[in-house]
Structure 1
Amino acid sequence: MAVYNVPSGVSNILVDIEGTTTPITFVKDVLFPFIKDNIKKYLIEHWKENEFQEDVAQLRKQAEKDSHLHGFVPIPSHVSENDTEKVIQAVVENVQWQMSSDRKTTALKQLQGHMWRSAYATGQIKGEVYKDVVPAVQQWKNLGMKLYIYSSGSVEAQKLLFGYSIEGDLLKLFDGHFDTTVGHKVESESYKNIADRVGCPSENILFLTDVVREAHAAKKAGLHVALVVRPGNEALTDEDKSNFHLVTSFDQIHFPSQQ
């Protein structure tokens, strides 16, 4: 694929994670299975902690909102010590249902983030990044670019992935993080919100993603967009290929000072 020469005026770069900086397989084959395999053990070990009880409270509120959905799992209130086992099992089943339905609720992401934090800190998990990412990002930083992450995963989960990566602590390379609390990634308003937050016009931002619907939303909001084509990512149609610049590696992205 040809080099993508970024238009002059771009001073901020917004990047997706899954399928863009990090293999999709890392999320599907490492992060998610860790939750499913360890959820009950984690609940039992952390049950009495205030942070965990807040996680349960948020999951319970989400369950009340989901009561109209097929297969939803309610989470009963914890009244006495005798209820603990019943509530724990309900939380396990609720989390498994949300994950099997590919839900991306804030409550679920919050619990997952706390579980991953423990796993990263103990070395059970290390964040994966493509080999071309760090050299390119370091070069962009040297050019004076500001870099931000925007992912459906929580900000905490993002910081864990890059803070405990196979390349070491990469957090110093990024100027900020955004998750779905700023809006869903397929809605153009979310990208306008991000532009407001970073304090620059939409046309001064380049968004890198592998998801076509996100690309369209960002483009509608006035951002420049490049689709990142990585192994295992969803196949693109001819129309997709004609609508967006395509790159298979970050080193194909060149800024005016590099051209």
Structure 2
Amino acid sequence: MTDPSKLPYAAVLLDIEGTTTPISFVHEVLFPYVQNHARAFIEARWDDPACRPYLTNLQAQSEADQHQGLQDIPRVADLDDATLPTSTKINSLVANLEYQICHDRKIKALKDFQGYMWEVGYRSGELKSIVYPDVVDALKQWKSLGKPVYIYSSGSVPAQKLIFAYSDQGDLTPYLAGYYDTAVGSKLATASYRTIQQTTGVPAKEFLFISDNVKEIDAARAAGFPTAVAQRPGNAPLPATVAADPIYTVISDFHALLD
């Protein structure tokens, strides 16, 4: 295993879940928030023009799923069918959302709707995200050293911004230079990291990527990034081969990377 202090880097790319933020926050707070409040949320905003595009996108995704033969996913009713009761449409949306959340689908329509609900929750004070204190220390030092920090998560960019704007450590967005989601590609695809490198202009060999997911780490390494595997409380145990392999750097907190 490589010594974290020996990693050279001029910029940082961070995963969120299991890296900057406990996995439990996502699975025990954010996901249940949508599941528990989706029905009341949709009912209250059924005629709200701001909400309608999110519901329409869920219907479009449902139709695409049906065309692909994914019959197990509850189908969203035709939201424009005037003959259907509103309750039927809402019931279908809620059932569809519950299935997608339970199966942790990485689908844009779902991520966008979740982000919309979370924004309302954050702004109302119902939600506050958790960011590890050592992450804050690192963000502050990297900012002072002129090392830009970017986020790359499967959650939508708006949802990422909310996590760092409404954290238990305060508003951390001033420490972040940019955000990326799966619009640039899968986090398991090497091409995604090359795209991020090209758009930021940071040389790959100087662009440190930190994630709890070894498959993501491998994809970034293949793109030439130095990497560190985050092993946080509650994360899945790392394979013994990873801990023993000198090509991997494993950290339990970000202090190991600081000067």
Bucket of the pairwise TM-score, normalised by the shorter protein: over 0.9
Equivalent position SS for 2:142: helix
Match of 1:207, SS state, is strand
TM-score by length of 2: 0.94
Decide whether aligned partners of structure 1 residues 2 and 193 sit closer, same or farther in structure 2, where only a CA change above 3 A counts: closer
Question: Cα deviations across residues 120-179 of structure 1 (Å, max 9, x unaligned)?
Answer: 001101010112110111011111100001111111111111101111111001000111
User: Is 2:96 the counterpart of 1:99?
Assistant: no
Structure 1 residue 204: Cα displacement: 2.0
SS in structure 1 at match of 2:96: helix
Q: Give the structure 2 partner of residue 39 of structure 1.
A: 38
For 1:30-179, what aligned pairs fall within 5 Å after superposition? 30-67=29-66, 68-77=69-78, 78-80=80-82, 82-179=84-181
Aligned-residue offset at 1:6: 4.4
Assess, with a 3 A threshold, how the Cα gap between structure 1 residues 232 and 202 changes in structure 2: closer, same or farther.
same
C-alpha distance after superposition, 1:22-80 (max 9, x if no partner): 01110111101101100000000111122311111111121122121241122122222
* TM-score w.r.t. length of structure 1: 0.94
Letter of the 2:63 counterpart: E
Cα distance, 1:45–1:84 mapped onto 2, change above 3 Å: same
Answer yes or no: is 1:4 the counterpart of 2:4: yes
Deviation string, structure 1 residues 173-199 (Cα, Å, up to 9, x no partner): 100011111111111111111111112
Q: Which residue identity does 2:209 align to in structure 1?
A: F
Q: Report the CA distance between 1:82 and its aligned residue.
A: 4.6
Query: Which deviates more from structure 2 when the two are superposed, residues 103-112 or residues 179-188?
Result: 179-188
Aligned twin of 1:230: 232
Which stretch has the larger CA shift, 148-157 or 236-245?
Answer: 236-245
Structure 2 Cα separation of the partners of residues 64 and 117 of structure 1: 26
Aligned-residue RMSD, C-alpha:
1.5
In the alignment, does 2:255 pair up with 1:251? yes
Stretches of 4+ aligned residues off by more than 4 angstroms = none
- Aligned: 1:14 with 2:16: no
In structure 1, the gaps of 5 or more residues are none
Distance in 2 of aligned mates of 1:2 and 1:149: 23
Alpha-carbon distance in structure 1 between the residues aligned to 2:189 and 2:61 = 21
Number of aligned residues: 254
The answer to whether the Cα contact below 8 Å between 1:22 and 1:129 also exists between their aligned partners in 2 is: yes
Bigger mean CA offset, 126-135 vs 195-204: 195-204
- 1:66 is paired with a residue whose SS is helix
8 Å contact kept, 1:188–1:218: yes
Contact persistence 2:54–2:113 (CA under 8 A): yes
Cα distance in structure 2, aligned partners of 1:63 and 1:70: 10
The amino acid across from 1:153 in the alignment is: G
Alpha-carbon distance, 1:201 to partner: 2.3
Distance in structure 2 (CA, Å) of the matches to 1:7 and 1:235: 23
Aligned counterpart, 1:188: 190
